[in-house]
Amino acid sequence: MSVMKNMWVNTFSGYVRVKVEGTYPELFINRCGERKIMIWDIRQAGEKTYICSVLLDDVKHLRPVCRESGCKIRFLERHGAPFIWRKMLVRTGFVTGAAAFIAILFLMANMVWNVEIEGASPAVEHEIRQKVDELGIKTGQFQFRLPPPEIIQQEISDQIPDATWIGVTIRGTTYHFQVVEKELAVKEPPEAAGHLVADRKAVIHRLFVEDGSAVVKANDVVQKGDLLVAGLIGKEGKEQRVAAKGEVYGEVWYRAEVTVPLEQQYFAVTGETFSKHKMNVADWTVPVWGFGSPEYENRKDEVHSRAFDLFGYQLPFTYTRETIRETEPALRTLSPEEAVEEALEKGRSEVLEQFSSKAEIAGEKVLHEEHVNGKVRVTIHYRIIDNIARKQPIIQGD
């Protein structure tokens, strides 16, 4: 069916709705057909009136048709691209706005918005940043005014001797520099020659000497200030001074007194909760959900905050969720055995706080326990193994 052409094409070339009036308007339809003027969507609008669509290009051929058929025509509506186009030309502001938007979008998309340097130490990063700046790669610069990444890579690599390799990639609006730095063996600054001495009275447990010569061995009893590792090596008389280095672990005794009450009051959550949701915009707090305050006698508040970020930039919005939990006081009664157990546990953590992070408890023993005023007082003896070495410089002329 050749008639079933896509009418949508007409929207492109433009068409008008025409009102045809005459004594015998059917004649108009027939005459149009004879002259190959395309008309469509013909409907009756009155006794002797039709409304139909005519292509814009055919409008100028309508006059003879009207004369022949004795009809009068009136144009009603205009449709299609040519009219929209004309309308747009009239509304210059709208058109310039749209054009400006596209232009700005294009320019912004071709700008450098960020320069990322990854894998470089702060010093090298600063250096690269300076060179990159000199090349003109900075926020606001247009990408098409910059050399291609391969060239940048070459130039930057030539100028930064500390980097083994610098990879340059463009990720959208971000220039990304991947740096692999030359790794030079780090030279430790020479330490002053010195001995290691005991910093407290202890029984040597084990020792690990990196530099220097050990003076003590395991199971030796040392007093505070006793020499552990000497900073002199070599034959007698021809000794060389070094900085003694190592770890000497000694067993230290420690006595702790821990008191634990037999009756303990604590707060337990009842399961009743109340949630509040808030949005924070800069310093303003706007409650979103959950207003007022619940009437809990005892309560525990939990606050969770979350910040929002867009493309890696933090936005000045935060979301806060407040959970208020109802609590009720509860009483716990301990038996004397349980109290001692708890005292031991409490003692362990308390004791370890007194020593270095490498300290460990080798043994514990309850020396004494007494019950007074509903409390248990426990005296515990601990054997602790800790690093007891302390540096002592060799005094010149000693």
Partner 1 sequence: MKKMRRWVKQWMTETMELPADAMMDLPRITMVGHLHIYIENHRGVLRFSKEEMRLRLDDGQLLIRGDGFVIKTILPEEILLEGKIISVQYVFEN
Other Cβ atoms within 10 Å of 109 Cβ, number: 11
Q: Specify the pairing of strand 227-230 against strand 375-387.
A: unpaired
Nearer to partner 1, 3 or 185 (CB): 3
Nearer to partner 1, 10 or 141 (CB): 10
User: How near is the Cβ of 46 to partner 1 at its closest, in Å?
Assistant: 10
User: How near is the Cβ of 81 to partner 1 at its closest, in Å?
Assistant: 21
Nearer to partner 1, 50 or 177 (CB): 50
Residues 6+ apart with CB under 8 A from 158: none
The strand pairing partners of 304, in sequence order, are: 321
User: How near is the Cβ of 17 to partner 1 at its closest, in Å?
Assistant: 13
User: How near is the Cβ of 4 to partner 1 at its closest, in Å?
Assistant: 7
Mutual angle of helices 149-159 and 122-134, in 10-degree steps: 130
d(CA 111, CA 145): 10
Q: Which residue is it, tokens 């299609």?
A: 80
Nearer to partner 1, 52 or 228 (CB): 52
Contact 102, 122 (CB under 8 A): no
Nearer to partner 1, 32 or 252 (CB): 32
Q: Where are the beta strands (DSSP E) in 239-374?
A: 240-241, 245-261, 263-281, 284-289, 298-310, 313-333, 360-372
d(CA 336, CA 370): 10
Task: Supply 23's token pair.
Answer: 């004594």
- Using a 10 angstrom Cβ sphere, with 0-12 exposed, 13-18 middle and 19 or more buried, the burial of residue 385 is buried
Nearer to partner 1, 14 or 25 (CB): 25
Instruction: Please report, as ranges, the residues that interact with partner 1 according to CB under 8 A.
Output: 1-5, 25-26, 29-30, 32-34, 36, 38-44, 50, 52
Contact 247, 196 (CB under 8 A): no
- How far lies 4's CA from each of 8, 52, 57, 171, 287, in Å? 11, 17, 20, 50, 61
User: How near is the Cβ of 13 to partner 1 at its closest, in Å?
Assistant: 16
- Cα–Cα nearest to 369, from 349, 346, 331, 341: 341
User: How near is the Cβ of 50 to partner 1 at its closest, in Å?
Assistant: 7
User: How near is the Cβ of 39 to partner 1 at its closest, in Å?
Assistant: 6
Nearer to partner 1, 29 or 334 (CB): 29
Nearer to partner 1, 37 or 115 (CB): 37
User: How near is the Cβ of 22 to partner 1 at its closest, in Å?
Assistant: 13
Q: Find how far residue 350's CA is from the centre of its chain.
A: 38
